[in-house]
Chain A
C-alpha cells in the first residue's frame, strides 16, 4: 500500500465547434482571429455544465474501481450554483455514500492544482474533480481558445499508479485575467506581459523549488504539464533548459483550454500513456502557480486502457453552425415558441424524497421475483409483492432502444426532441429523453449508455434540475 494517485479520468463533451466556422461568423469584425482558426474546440451541449461534466470524469476515473472515497472535492470557476452543494449532487450521481465529506473549490483557475498540491502531502482517500464550462464573448480570442471539459483524480492510500515527490506554490496577485462573480465572461490582459512578468518570473521559482526539494534535476522530468499556451511553454522550456518536446500537448487543436480542468485533463492524458518510473510535473497558473511533482509506478499499466481523454477525443461530432453554438450556450435567445414558456418549477420537498432515485438513478430490484424497475415503488410492477425492493442504480447499465421518436413539436434547445422506451437487464423499461443524438441517428435495437445531464432549466427561479439520459456509445 502506497499513497499517491490511485486512478484518473477525464471527459470531453462530444460536440466540437470548427474554428473556421467561428472565423466565418465573426472574422468580419475581428480579422486578427484568422491566425487561431485551425482545428476545433469542445463545446458542452445545452444540457451540460461543469457539474455534469465532473460526473462523467468521475465515472471515467472510478470505472472498475472498488473504492468508495470518503472525500470528494469539486473544483471549478463555473459551478452552476454559487450556494448549493454542487459536490453533493456529483457525489449522488456517482452513487457514493452520503456519509462522506464533500467540498466545493472555486474562485481560481488553480482550484484543482492547489488542492492537488495539498494532497501531495497526504490526506484521506479523495476524489478530486475539476471541471470548467467557461462561456466566451463572440469575437473574443477566448471563444477560439477555450474548450469545455473535466478531469478526475483518485488520490489516497492503495495501489498507487503515481506517487508524489512533492509540491510548491506561490501566490502573486498578477491579474492576467479575471472574472467577477456576477460576470459572464473573462477579461484578459496582454499576453506578452502575462508571459514575461507572470509565467517567466513566477513559474520557474515553483518548478525549481519542487525539483530541488525532491532531489530531482529538471532534465529528469519526463513530462511537463503546463496550464499555458504553446508559446509560453516554448519560452519556459528555453528559460529552464527543459526539452520543449517534454511539454505535454495542450490538446489545443481539438479541445481548447478547459480552465481549472486543463492541467488535470493533460495529466490524465499523460497517465493514460506513460511508462513506469516516469516523472511528471504539473503546473497550474493563475495569480501565482502550483507545481506538483509525480513519479509513475509499475502499477500504472493496470489502470491504462480505456481511462483518460483519448476515448472522448475520438468520440466527437464537429459542427460549423456558429449560431447553434451561441444558442446552445445561452448567448442568443431564439424564439422557440409558446411551448418553451412551460414553468419548470421543482417541488423541492418532493425532489428531496426522490433525490437518490433522480441523481443516482436508483431503481428497485424486487427480492421476490428479481425484477429490476425504475422508478422503484412500494409494489413490485411484475409480481405485486409489497415493500420488496432493494435500491439499485441503473446508471452504469447499457440500454436497448425499444421505441423512439424525433419530436419537432416539443420544446428543446436542440431540436428535434428525441425520446423513447429503453429496456435494461432484468426487465426494466424506462421512457427517457435522449441526448447527443442527431436526427436520423437512433434506431430500434440500438445500444445506449446513460449520462448525467441537465433535465430542465427553471429560468424564472434560476434553478436547474438533473437526470440521466441515453446517449450514443463511446466508439
Chain B
C-alpha cells in the first residue's frame, strides 16, 4: 500500500542566487552561484551527488534543452540529469523529481536546480512564443497579466464585491510583499512601496496595474536532498523534511466548460486538498506557519488564499486588509518578498519558495525570521487560470 512522501525525504542543503536583472550572468553563472551555496550548506562532496533534475522553461531563449545545460555548467560526472518543465511550476517539478528518486530508494543524494535567464530578450517582457499549431489558430495572444486579470472580473461578479475593495486588497498584498522583500538581500526589488503607489500605478491589464505584477528577472535556486535515514546517519539534528508534494494539472474543464466560474483556481484546490491529506493537515490556518504562493499577480495571491482554505470563499479581501497574511499576521504569506520582489525566473521560482521555507524552518532567515515556524507551504502555479498546473508542497521540521 503506497504511503505517500511524508517524512521520507530531507532537504539537507539549499542555495539561491541573487534574483534580478543579472546582466552580469548567463545561465551557467546563475546555476553555479546557487549550487555553490547549496553544496556548502549540505556538507557533502560533489561526487556524492548521484542524480539531478533541472527545471528550466524557456529552452532556446533561456538556457537550452535536455540534461546538458546542468551537466555542462557544473561539469557533473555524467550522472543522470533530467530536464523537467511544467510551465511556471517547473521549479517545484525539479524538486519533485529529486525527492521521488530518493524516496524510491534509487539513490542517496539527489540534486534539484531551477534556473531561468530571461533578460536577454532585449525588452521588458517575456519572450514571444507560439502557443502551438492549433492553439495559435484560435486562442487570444494573451499576456500573463491579462490572463490572470481575468480572475478579478469573475471574482467581483461572483462575490458581488466592489471592484475598488478588490483593488485595495491587491494593493495591500503588493505593499506587504515589498515590506518583506525590503529585508531580503537576494530579492530583485528591495524597496518598500506604498499602497497608494500600487493603486495609482499605470494600468497593465485591467484591473492590474504595474505594482500588481511581478517583474521579469533572472535567477537560479538549488536543493540537495537525501533520505531521512541518511540525514540521521550524517548527524543532522534539525531536519527539514518534505511533508507533501502534490500536483494537479487542468484537464480542460475550466477552459471548455461552464462548471468553472472563472473566479478561483480549481487545480490549486485539488492539489491543496491532496497535500493537506498527505501531510496530515486538518486545519491549515492553525497548523501552517507560513506560505509562499504564486503571486505572479496580486489578484492570484488573493484567490489562492481561498483556494488553500486560509480564507473562506469571498472572505479573502477582508482577511488581506485585516493583515491576516502580513508578516505579523496569522499566516504570513511571501515572507521573503514573493514573486513580487524576486521576479519570476520561471524554472527557479518553485525552488526559491522552498529556499525561504527551509531558511525559516532552520531559524536562518535573519531579519525576516518568524518565531519558531514548523510547517510551511509552497504553492507554485504554471499557466493561466483557465488552463494550468498547480503544485502544492508542504515542508516542515522533522519533529512536526
Contacts and interface: CB of A to CB of B under 8 A. Distances in A.
Interface in B144-200: 145-147, 149-154, 156-157
Contacts of B143: 339, 407, 409-410, 417
Contacts of B150: 403-405, 420-421
Contact of A338 (B123, B136, B260): B123
Contacts of A427: 257-259
A433 interface: yes
A373 B146 contact: no
A1 interface: no
A374 B139 CA distance: 11
Nearest to A363: B256
Contacts of B203: 406, 408
Contact of B153 (A404, A407, A428): A404
Contact of B140 (A344, A408, A419): A419
A281 B359 CA distance: 86
Interface in B250-287: 251-263
A354 B136 CA distance: 12
A417 B258 contact: no
Contact of A382 (B125, B147, B259): B259
B252 A377 contact: yes
A403 B140 contact: no
Interface residues of A, number: 53
A199 interface: no
A409 B204 CA distance: 6
A120 B20 CA distance: 72
A60 interface: no
Nearest to B205: A407
A419 B153 CA distance: 12
B140 A433 contact: yes
Contact of B157 (A408, A409, A445): A445
A399 B150 CA distance: 17
Interface in B120-145: 121-123, 125, 128, 130, 133-134, 136-143, 145
Contacts of A408: 202-205
Interface residues of B, number: 47
Given A406-B205, A429-B258, A465 B153 contact: no
A381 B253 contact: yes
B386 interface: yes
Interface string B237-260: 000000000000001111111111
B256 A375 contact: yes
A54 to B, nearest CB: 20
A335 interface: no
A347 B136 CA distance: 9
Contacts of A431: 139-140, 142, 255, 386
Interface string A325-345: 000000000000111011111
Contact of A406 (B151, B206, B262): B206
A386 to B, nearest CB: 14
A186 B175 CA distance: 59
A344 B259 CA distance: 32
A375 B387 CA distance: 14
A214 interface: no
A455 interface: yes
Contact of B125 (A339, A351, A432): A339
Contacts of B253: 381-382
B128 A342 contact: yes
A444 interface: yes
B257 A410 contact: no
Contact of B261 (A341, A402, A406): A402
Given A373-B257, A402-B262, A431-B386, A444 B145 contact: no
Contacts of A375: 134, 138, 256
A205 to B, nearest CB: 50
Contact of A381 (B128, B137, B256, B261): B256
Contacts of A377: 252, 256
Nearest to A444: B157
B134 A350 contact: yes
Interface string B389-400: 000000000000
A208 interface: no
Most buried by B among A404, A431, A439: A431
A291 B205 CA distance: 54
A358 interface: yes
Contacts of A346: 136-137
A339 B134 CA distance: 20
Given A375-B134, A417-B146, A419-B146, A403 B153 contact: yes
A420 B204 CA distance: 15
Given A342-B128, A417-B146, A429-B255, A403 B137 contact: no
Contacts of A455: 137-138
Nearest to B158: A444
A287 interface: no
B251 A381 contact: yes
A344 B136 contact: yes
Contacts of B257: 371, 373, 381-382, 427-429
Contacts of B134: 350, 354, 375
User: Interface centre among B134, B139, B140, B253, by most A CB within 10 Å?
Assistant: B140
Contact of A410 (B123, B141, B157): B141
A338 B206 CA distance: 21
A341 B128 contact: yes
A178 interface: no
Contact of B206 (A405, A444, A445, A467): A405
A357 B251 CA distance: 20
A209 to B, nearest CB: 50
Nearest to B141: A410
Contacts of A417: 140-143, 146
Given A405-B205, A409-B204, A465-B137, A420 B256 contact: no
B306 to A, nearest CB: 16
B281 to A, nearest CB: 30
Contacts of A407: 142-143, 145-146, 149, 204-206
Contacts of B151: 403
B368 to A, nearest CB: 31
B104 to A, nearest CB: 30
A266 B391 CA distance: 61
A432 B137 CA distance: 11
Nearest to A377: B252
Contacts of A56: none
Given A339-B128, A429-B260, A430-B256, A405 B154 contact: no
A416 B128 contact: no
Interface string A350-372: 11001001100000000000010
6 contacts: A358-B138, A403-B152, A404-B150, A405-B149, A407-B142, A427-B259
Given A405-B150, A407-B143, 6 more contacts: A338-B121, A343-B130, A405-B153, A405-B206, A410-B141, A427-B259
Interface of A: 337-339, 341-347, 350-351, 354, 357-358, 371, 373-375, 377, 381-382, 402-412, 416-417, 419-421, 423, 427-433, 439, 444-445, 455-456, 465, 467
The 7 closest A-B pairs by CB, nearest first: A407-B146, A350-B133, A347-B133, A405-B149, A419-B140, A403-B154, A433-B140
